[in-house]
């Protein structure tokens, strides 16, 4: 990377939808040098290996597949004068801001007036889920499967089991079908599918048994998976013959850079703690896209990236309010998993994130209460399922509020 | 020379059966001592049995039974590791250990354990109050009662060490044969003829270093065994790198008669591990992970370091220790048969391996004294997988020309992987490649790099990560069109 500068106005980490949208927006707002870094050999992020519809409707008013959409994002950014550098891995976030990097040519640093973090999400691994049994080949995430199938035409198994019923799990079924892989079952520990049943897909997954209330106990095999043991709701265990396991979903922010940095991490989302402008605890850093919360669509992340890009341009022009004082919103109880943004700064400036985004840990029904110092400021009915999008306007926090704000759910009696 | 070619099938001075850490260390020692050595491993790669899962600590042996063979081998192995690690490029993380007491009973046992340590010539110990302990380790639970510090307990890379031993043996003309199982054999007229899955191999001396299979191999070759292996499973949890800042010392419990107990410590690779359990089982091959046990380990970890509650799990693994009915190592030389059994290395093999090798060398010299040590042996350096080393040796990702990162979580470069895939110990399995390079061992467990790695290793592993190379398939998904 001989042409990678030592300094830029804005450096963006991650060339997926959020990062590229922000970069394009920053250029459109007159920011002179905007550099996007990505550790992969190609820019575009996760959509590069999601070879299915629907992408691009919001952004380009075209119905695109993931790879075409990714290419579109890259071309648009380049046309706007964004410098994209691939095969550059950020190894540390420094105050300044500045970034430590490694490239095929060795290590170096880059400094910037502002840094935007758009490092996205990954699926939770078999290990992190503490799934039992042994460790043969053929246990992969959807992301790994899609990379193998769509980027390299490789097939890690022939008749796997899909663990999970999130949207990405159905995407895994499509990926299998594309490659002539025939899943033998889809397993879900809960009593219903996590994603809304994708009716359009239904005929295509016919013939693949959907096993609800079923827990994956153990994986068997040596070089390759030979079977799995599952337990159904009635407590009975049984063996399923299979040569692979697709461990899908349970996304979590790819926040390892954050966690070893001086920036504050939000325990609930697992991502960056931000204010309504996408600004981190160090106001030189911003964050956008799925790093903020698992998990949203590419289109959502793109829109969020663009809005945070706009806020960064304002910040560079000295037009954002100071980061303190702020109202700090925190969920309590075990129903709510996360709320983003976590900090609201009193301001008349348009926010980059116009609404709070919430997620629940489990199916929840009752009233959502927002309170400060014991007094309820706002309440509304809530009837929500895990992994589904829930939003509320920022105005549920009274203008000018500061200090801790509690948000929780008073559940209806079962 | 391709790694598996037998350059001379006729007769070796010594045949070592078993490519675990013990076999690798013996291969190195005997080679340096002038023996023509062949090492036979039944799996695709070395370190496929007991040696693949341990706690990666270089123990001083402070808690070994004084005067035992284990204590002697640990002392000798520890000393030799310190002496040779730099020449082989191996890391040493001088963490020190704290033996923690969590109850009155445990606190009362600390002085006796310190006396035992001194009897094992492990000195510079210090007894610490709860406050002093937490001053050294602020992340510890307030429930800790007292501790003593053993400054000489260190962290090492559990796989680079045995790889380095065997690489040095091979560089000095030892031969490695993998996928080679010994099925039988007999001793006649000063010579062993071993029947193997790859034909007959001859040797003047046979060393059985088969770990979990030591008694079975003794049966096959001698028709009897003096001890029985009782595999003892140990499950571990590895936390992501941010957790490593929660503890700087190796945190040991007060040991019980059968196990050192559950350890919490950093790893050489910058993670934090909690384990092992100690569970007897009959199966010598499969070490199954059990979700409930892993959850209990997690809980125990959080009791010791409350901050772990907020940390992510990166990996889970289970190892099998080749314990026998005896507490001490079972190393037996059979005079008249030129045969040595090296068994019952129940848990401390990584620390003691170089010492065990010296002990075995002395036994072999009892059979055959006519050896000239190599005057000027080669000292190949093994690749470095450890960041922030005290000797400042860089990782490949920090060096120019590394050809880019393949595994982002562990920062493994294409050049590193290529180098390992073309050296004399080139792994033949993904598991072997992981041990050599750490690919896919990080937090994403292959989410990001599996496809690049499958492509890079295509045609180079006995069991490929994936099959097929249909460029026509890597493209538009026709299914979604209708």
CB within 8 Å of chain A, chain B residues 211-230? none
Q: Tokens standing for A170?
A: 């159905």
Please report, for residues A70, B331, B344, B365, the alpha-carbon distance to residue B70 in angstroms, rounded to integers and kept in the order given. Answer: 60, 10, 10, 21
Task: Please write the tens of the pLDDT for every residue from B410-463.
Answer: 999 999 999 999 999 999 999 999 999 999 999 999 999 999 999 999 999 999
CB B180 within 8 A of CB B196: yes
Pick the CATH number of A125-249 from 3.30.2320.80, 3.40.47.10, 3.40.50.1010, 3.50.50.60: 3.50.50.60
B288: domain CATH number is: 3.30.9.10
Q: Find the DSSP H helices in A120-188.
A: 142-146, 152, 167-178
Of A127, A174, A267, the CB nearest to B445: A127
Q: Kindly report the nearest CA distance between residue B120 and chain A, in angstroms.
A: 38
Of A133, A151, A174, the CB nearest to B477: A174
Is B463 a domain residue? no
Q: Are residues B10 and B80 in the same domain?
A: yes
Q: Are residues B64 and B171 in the same domain?
A: yes
Q: Are residues B285 and B202 in the same domain?
A: no
Q: How many interchain CB pairs under 8 A, A with B?
A: 185
Is B471 a domain residue? no
Q: Are residues B304 and B452 in the same domain?
A: no
Interface test with A, best of B454, B455, B463, B482 (most A CBs within 10 A): B454
Q: Tokens standing for A405?
A: 């704000």
Secondary structure of residue A383 in the 3-state scheme: strand
The string of DSSP letters for A269-287 reads TSSB--BTTSB-SSTTEEE
Could you give the maximum distance between any two Cα atoms of chain B, in Å? Answer: 79
Q: Are residues B211 and B70 in the same domain?
A: yes
DSSP A341: -
Q: Are residues B271 and B208 in the same domain?
A: no
For residue B445, the enclosing domain spans: 396-456
Q: Are residues B310 and B434 in the same domain?
A: no
Helix A298-316 and helix A17-28, axial crossing angle in degrees, nearest 10: 40
CB within 8 Å of chain B, chain A residues 21-60? 39-41, 49, 51-53
Which residue ranges make up each domain of chain A? 1-123+251-320, 125-249, 322-414
CB contact under 8 A, A150 and B315: no
CB contact under 8 A, A51 and B294: no
Total tally of structural domains belonging to chain B: 3
Q: Kindly report the nearest CA distance between residue A89 and chain B, in angstroms.
A: 8
Q: Are residues B346 and B297 in the same domain?
A: no
Of B463, B471, B477, the CB nearest to A224: B463
CB A27 within 8 A of CB A126: no
Q: Taking CA atoms, what residue in A is nearest to B415?
A: A104
B/e letters for B146-169, b = 16+ CB within 10 Å, e = fewer, are bbbbbbbbbbbbbbbbbbbbbbbb
Q: For every residue of B380-422, which 3-state class applies, written as one string?
A: CCCCCCCCCCCCCCCCHHHCCCCCCEEECCCCEEHHHHHHHHC
**Taking CB atoms and an 8 Å cutoff, what residues of chain B touch A218?**
288-289
CB contact under 8 A, B411 and A154: no
Task: Return left, alpha or beta for A261; rule: phi > 0 is left, psi -120 to 50 is alpha, else beta.
Answer: beta
Is-same-fold flag (A1-123+251-320; A125-249)? yes
Q: What is the ipTM of this complex?
A: 0.94
Q: Which of B342, B360, B383 is the last residue of a domain?
A: B383
Encode chain B (482 residues) as per-residue pLDDT tens digits.
333 434 455 689 999 999 999 999 999 999 999 999 999 999 999 999 999 988 999 999 999 999 999 999 999 999 999 999 999 999 999 999 999 999 999 999 999 999 999 999 999 999 999 999 999 999 999 999 999 999 999 999 999 999 999 999 999 999 999 999 999 999 998 899 999 999 999 999 999 999 999 999 999 999 999 999 999 999 999 999 999 999 999 999 998 776 778 999 999 999 999 999 999 999 999 999 999 999 999 999 999 999 999 999 999 999 999 999 999 999 999 989 999 999 999 889 999 999 999 999 999 999 987 889 999 999 999 999 999 898 999 999 999 999 999 999 999 999 999 999 999 999 999 999 999 999 999 999 999 999 999 999 999 999 999 987 544 444 433 332 22
Under 8 Å CB-to-CB from B413, ≥6 apart: which residues? B396, B397, B402, B403, B404, B405, B406
**Taking CB atoms and an 8 Å cutoff, what residues of chain A touch B467?**
154-156
**Taking CB atoms and an 8 Å cutoff, what residues of chain B touch A231?**
none
Q: Are residues B73 and B161 in the same domain?
A: yes
CB B104 within 8 A of CB B144: no
Q: Are residues B442 and B307 in the same domain?
A: no
A128 vs B: CB within 8 A: yes
CB contact under 8 A, B397 and A89: yes
Interface test with A, best of B450, B455, B476 (most A CBs within 10 A): B450
Q: Are residues B235 and B278 in the same domain?
A: yes
B459 vs A: CB within 8 A: no
Q: Are residues B376 and B354 in the same domain?
A: yes
CB B152 within 8 A of CB B15: no
Is B165 a domain residue? yes
B480 vs A: CB within 8 A: yes
Is B468 a domain residue? no
> pLDDT value at position A205?
66
Of A128, A151, A152, the CB nearest to B313: A128
Residue range A1-123+251-320, CATH number: 3.50.50.60
Distance separating alpha carbons of residues A113 and A99, to the nearest angstrom: 12
Helix B160-171 and helix B349-367, axial crossing angle in degrees, nearest 10: 30
A250 vs B: CB within 8 A: no
CB contact under 8 A, A177 and B479: yes
Is B111 a domain residue? yes
Q: Kindly report the nearest CA distance between residue A132 and chain B, in angstroms.
A: 4
CB contact under 8 A, B450 and A152: no
């Amino acid at each position: 990377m001989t042409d990678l500068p030592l300094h830029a106005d804005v450096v963006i980490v991650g060339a997926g939808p959020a990062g590229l949208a922000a970069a394009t927006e920053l250029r459109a707002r007159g920011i002179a040098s905007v550099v996007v870094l990505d550790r992969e050999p190609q820019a575009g992020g996760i959509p590069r290996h999601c070879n299915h519809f629907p992408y691009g409707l919001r952004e380009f008013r075209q119905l695109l597949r993931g790879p075409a959409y990714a290419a579109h994002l890259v071309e648009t950014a380049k046309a706007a004068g964004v410098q994209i550098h691939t095969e550059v891995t950020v190894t540390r976030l420094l105050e300044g801001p500045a970034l430590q990097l490694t490239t095929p040519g060795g290590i170096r640093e880059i400094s910037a007036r502002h840094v935007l973090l758009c490092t996205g999400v990954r699926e939770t691994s078999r290990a992190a889920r503490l799934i039992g049994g042994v460790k043969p080949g053929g246990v992969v995430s959807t992301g790994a499967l899609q990379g193998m199938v769509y980027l390299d035409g490789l097939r890690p198994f022939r008749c796997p089991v899909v663990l999970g019923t999130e949207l990405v799990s159905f995407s895994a079924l499509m990926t299998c079908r594309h490659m002539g892989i025939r899943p033998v079952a889809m397993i879900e520990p809960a009593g219903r599918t996590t994603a809304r049943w994708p009716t359009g897909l239904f005929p295509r997954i016919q013939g693949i048994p959907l096993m609800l209330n079923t827990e994956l106990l153990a994986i068997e095999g040596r070089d390759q998976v030979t079977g799995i043991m599952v337990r159904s709701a009635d407590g009975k265990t049984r063996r399923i013959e299979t040569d692979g396991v697709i461990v899908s979903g349970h996304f979590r922010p790819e926040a390892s850079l954050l966690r070893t940095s001086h920036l504050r991490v939000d325990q609930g989302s697992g991502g960056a703690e931000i204010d309504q402008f996408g600004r981190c605890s160090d106001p030189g850093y911003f964050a956008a896209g799925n790093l903020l919360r698992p998990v949203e669509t590419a289109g959502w992340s793109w829109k969020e990236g663009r809005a945070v890009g706009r806020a960064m341009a304002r910040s560079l022009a000295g037009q954002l309010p100071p980061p303190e004082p702020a109202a700090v919103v925190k969920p309590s109880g075990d129903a709510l998993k996360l709320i983003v943004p976590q900090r609201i700064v009193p301001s008349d400036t348009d926010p980059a994130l116009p609404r709070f985004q919430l997620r629940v840990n489990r199916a929840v029904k009752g009233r959502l209460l927002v309170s400060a110092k014991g007094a309820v400021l706002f309440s509304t009915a809530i009837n929500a399922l895990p992994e589904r999008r829930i939003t509320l306007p920022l105005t549920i926090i009274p203008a000018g509020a500061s200090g801790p704000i509690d948000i929780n759910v008073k559940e209806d009696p079962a | 020379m391709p790694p598996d070619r037998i350059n001379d099938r006729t007769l070796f001075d010594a045949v070592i059966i078993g490519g675990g850490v013990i076999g690798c260390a013996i291969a190195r020692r005997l080679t340096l001592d002038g023996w023509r050595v062949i090492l036979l491993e039944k799996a695709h790669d070395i370190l496929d049995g007991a040696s693949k899962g341990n706690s990666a600590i270089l123990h001083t042996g402070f808690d070994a039974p004084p005067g035992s063979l284990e204590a002697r081998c640990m002392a000798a192995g520890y000393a030799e590791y310190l002496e040779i690690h730099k020449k082989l490029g191996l890391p040493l993380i001088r963490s020190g250990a704290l033996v923690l007491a969590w109850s009155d009973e445990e606190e009362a046992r600390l002085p006796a354990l310190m006396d035992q340590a001194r009897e094992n010539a492990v000195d510079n110990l210090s007894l610490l109050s709860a406050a002093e302990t937490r001053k050294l380790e602020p992340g510890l639970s307030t429930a800790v009662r007292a501790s003593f510090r053993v400054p000489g307990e260190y962290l090492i890379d559990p796989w680079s060490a045995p790889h380095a031993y065997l690489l040095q043996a091979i560089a000095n003309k030892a031969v490695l044969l993998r996928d080679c199982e010994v099925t039988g054999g007999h001793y006649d007229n000063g010579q062993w003829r071993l029947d193997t899955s790859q034909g007959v191999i001859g040797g003047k001396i046979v060393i059985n270093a088969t770990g979990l299979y030591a008694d079975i191999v003794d049966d096959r070759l001698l028709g009897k065994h003096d001890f029985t292996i009782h595999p003892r499973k140990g499950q571990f949890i590895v936390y992501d790198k941010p957790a490593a800042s929660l503890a700087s010392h190796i945190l040991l419990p007060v040991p019980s008669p059968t196990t050192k107990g559950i350890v919490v410590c950093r790893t050489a690779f910058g993670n934090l591990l909690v384990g092992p359990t100690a569970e007897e089982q009959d199966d010598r091959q499969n070490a199954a992970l059990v979700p409930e046990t892993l959850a209990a380990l997690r809980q125990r970890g959080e009791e010791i370091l409350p901050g772990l509650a907020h940390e992510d799990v990166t990996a889970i693994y289970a190892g099998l220790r080749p314990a026998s009915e005896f507490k001490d190592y079972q190393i037996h030389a059979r005079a008249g048969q030129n045969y040595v059994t090296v068994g019952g290395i129940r848990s401390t093999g990584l620390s003691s391996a170089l010492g065990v090798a010296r002990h075995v060398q002395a036994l072999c010299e009892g059979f055959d004294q006519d050896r000239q040590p190599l005057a000027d042996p080669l000292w190949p350096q093994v690749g470095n997988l450890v960041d922030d080393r005290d000797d400042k040796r860089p990782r490949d990702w920090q060096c120019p020309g590394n050809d880019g990162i393949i595994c982002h979580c562990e920062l493994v470069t294409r050049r590193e992987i290529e180098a390992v895939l073309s050296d004399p110990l080139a792994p033949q399995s993904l598991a072997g490649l992981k041990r050599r390079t750490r690919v896919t061992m990080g937090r994403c467990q292959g989410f990001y790099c599996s496809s690049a790695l499958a492509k890079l290793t295509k045609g180079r592993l006995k069991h490929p990560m994936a099959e097929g190379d249909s460029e026509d398939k890597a493209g538009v998904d026709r299914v979604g069109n209708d």
